Every structure is written in C-alpha cells, then in structure tokens.
C-alpha cells in the first residue's frame, strides 16, 4: 500500500511563499491565477493490506507529527 499526504498552510495563515509564486506566475504572463498555496507532499510506503487500520494510524501521525495543526491542514489518501 502507499499513503499520500498533502500538507497545506491553513487559510488564516500568512503564506508568503504562495504569494511570491503567484506573483512570479503573473510576471511570466500566466493569467487567471487566483491564489497559490505552497505545501508539502509525503509518500509513505506501507506493509499489509488493511487500509482502514493504516488510515487510522496515519491520521494520528499526521495530526501529532507530520503536520502542525496550528498552521497546517492535511489530506490523506491511501491506495
């Protein structure tokens, strides 16, 4: 199994990286970019086949460690 975790800054948190990338895209001539949010992507390879157990475990890990709930949101996918 493989887990994919996408971590993004919370909406209320200042994201200067996202803003800078957005400005750069505009400078390059790409139109219609409303907002950019720069985050992190983690790919985790897992043993076993129990998706539910893996989900439970990784939700806990994402909350406690992989993301910082004060400033970040995360999305977990298992395939």
Q: Which residues bind other proteins (CB under 8 A)?
A: 9, 12-14, 16-17, 20, 65-66, 68, 70-71
Task: Look up residue 17 and give its two tokens.
Answer: 């990286």
* Residue tagged 């975790």 (tokens): 5
Which of 19/55 has CB closer to other proteins? Answer: 19
CB of 52 to other proteins, least distance (A): 26
Which of 41/49 has CB closer to other proteins? Answer: 41
Which of 39/46 has CB closer to other proteins? Answer: 39
Name the region of 29 (left: φ>0; alpha: ψ -120 to 50; beta: rest).
Answer: left
The radius of gyration of the chain's CA atoms, rounded to the nearest angstrom, is 16
Q: Distance between CA 28 and CA 5 in Å, rounded?
A: 30
CB of 69 to other proteins, least distance (A): 9
């Amino acid at each position: 199994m493989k887990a994919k975790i996408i971590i993004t800054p919370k909406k209320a948190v200042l994201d200067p990286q996202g803003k800078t990338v957005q400005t750069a895209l505009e400078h390059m001539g790409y139109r219609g970019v409303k907002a950019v949010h720069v985050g992190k992507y983690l790919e985790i390879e897992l043993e076993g086949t129990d998706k539910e157990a893996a989900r439970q475990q990784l939700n806990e890990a994402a909350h406690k460690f992989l993301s910082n709930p004060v400033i970040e949101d995360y999305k977990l996918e298992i395939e």
